[in-house]
Chains A and B, each alone.
Chain A
Amino acid sequence: MAEIQWLNDMTTASSKGKAEKKPILLGFFNSE
């Protein structure tokens, strides 16, 4: 694995979290 497999959509992340029974890592980065 060369990099973290970031998602950018909360709906998808929530669905995957429930399906795979894994906690979600939500990172906010500077948008400016």
Chain B
Amino acid sequence: MRSVLVVDDRLSNREYLVALLGSTGFEVLQASDGAQALEIARTHSPSLVIADILMPTMDGYQFVRQLRRDPQHAGTPVIFISGQYAEHEARTLAERCGVSELLVKPVEPQAILAAIERAMSCGREVATPPTQAQGEPFERLHRRLLIDTLAQKAEELEATNRRLAALVALCRQLAVEHEAKRLVQVFCGAAAEIMGARYVMVALRDVVGSDLRHIVASGHDDGMVASISTPMAAMSALRVESSGKPLAIMTAEDVIAEAMAPAFLQQTPFVVAPVVTAVRSYGALFFGQLVGRRPSDSSDQEFAAMLAAQLGIAYENAARYEQVHRHSEDLQLEVGERRRAQEEARQLTEELECRVEERTRALEATHQQLRLSERMASLGTLCAGLGHDMGNLLLPIRAHLDTIGRMGPNPEIAPHLTAITECVGYLQLLTNGLRMLSYDTREAEGDAVTDLESWRGEIMPLLTSALPGGIRLECRFDKRIPSVRMSRQTLSQAVFNIVNNAADALRSRGTGSIVITATSGDGDNTVSLQIVDDGPGMSEDVRARVLDPFFTTKRRAFSTGLGMTLVHSAIKKVGGSIEIDSAPGRGTTVILLLPAVAGAEDSETPLVESKPIAAISFRDQRTQAIMTKLLQSMGYDTKPGAGPDHERAAIWFTEADAGRLDAARNFLQSRPNGRIAVAGALDEDWRRLGAVHLGDTLRPSEIRTRLREFALSNGSQCPA
């Protein structure tokens, strides 16, 4: 069987040839250097030898020269496969030692097979033994080749070292660069230098998604820079991305052959490498116009692949770093927000607790008030019955006392009668108090309004007469004080009670002063009525209990202990409040805060000074009497029998009767400021008069309600 001896110091090279020759039917023998090869050749006499040139112990030339010296094997055909160093010299040496075939790496399998065929067909005759006479002596030539090869190797090594150093420096830079855009820029500059390319371009997609995110070019080819899709276009044209391996294009012909864009013509030789990591493919790395490249040099592709891999990892890391950074920022934001939310929640909780506490307090107060008002209600029922029965008893007692009084003076019974009358007076006082306690003031007060100026005119003489001598009473009211939403009677009772208490406090001293002031406050929504005395004042205990029912500091015979309770309940019922400021030695100030009637200050004419004259004409005698009573109580001057013809009548109260229309027209024509108030159903004629309507019926209660509404809407008690 024919055999081939493969001689190479590299196992991978030998295996490659073993695999290739396995299909040709040769038995393949192997040797890792010249010495071993010589031994195998002598023992096995192979038909063909394929040998590397540069090998340890004994190189290819020495091996062939030794082989040629052995007459038995001198004719064995030899093929050299060699690296691309000093090819010309290598060929010369090969010829000198009778080797006609020299293949330069990298070498295609077909070229090897063709060379084998040629060598085999020539047979042993082809080999011509080396002769010393031809040209330069072989030894010198061989030495020079070795030296040259070494020098070239050293140079290559140095260049590779430089590249490696630059690569290491680049890797260091890439390792510390966290921003993807800057990273790509740094990479571009450094990679151009490492590769010796005039033009570098990087196109990278976003880490998530497929958008092109970074396109960075380095070099001075404006045309190429303008055509930014170049690396991607090249990659897709050359199907580099799908192969995952870099590809080198050496000549313009290749570009045309691959049907690439004309822009690439100027870029040859160029290398395109996919930027791929274990995770995904990011884009392309393009090195254009590689200076002084030989087509056989595969290191460019290796470097490009390495650089692309480094770029891919660095880019991915940077993107991840950016992601992590963003996440961390988001996280910090979230933490901040959560802290704020927690703080807010804490504040809300606090607020809520406060409100719950407040509400609880309010509830407790309401509950207490409820308990009190329950007590008061039962007390009210008791008082009502008691008051009624006592009234029913007191009326006869007083009537009989009057009768006895009319019987003429009787010195014997007179003192007893006086004593009984005094007792009855006190009982009546108590009964009135009981009646007031049982009295639903809300119902009684209705829409009652009291003009404080006119009230002052009425109450002052009464108060002054009730005070013992030596106690001075003074009244200081704000100008244009608003009216208060409270009946005259209730207000009088309240103030009377308070002034009486003040007077009682001053009585023991015999002198002192009581000052009543009225000021409008709280945006005219309330009137503050203050009753100030310079008496001995109250202790805290007394002050706290002064509003309690049946509490009194006076001798029981003079006090029911209900006065201040009544004042308090009356004031509360109209929506007002009462404050008591007092301390021993400092006197007492009672402040009544009363709801004021908005706009009341606009009524400029004091009612007391000039009462408007009202003419009243109702057919029904009783209705006429009721109207007269009501209008008098509202501050009108109701001249007895005054009709619409009364020359000073300012307003005519009448009923809607067709027979009175003419009189009504005349009334209005003769008085520029005259007004008509009319009760009953109105027809068109009455409507046209613009009269104040007192309701469709002549029912007195309805007329009374309308009169009150009318008085309120006019800001006074008087419709005029």
B is bound to A: no
Chain A interfacial positions (CB closer than 8 Å to B): none
Chain B interfacial positions (CB closer than 8 Å to A): none
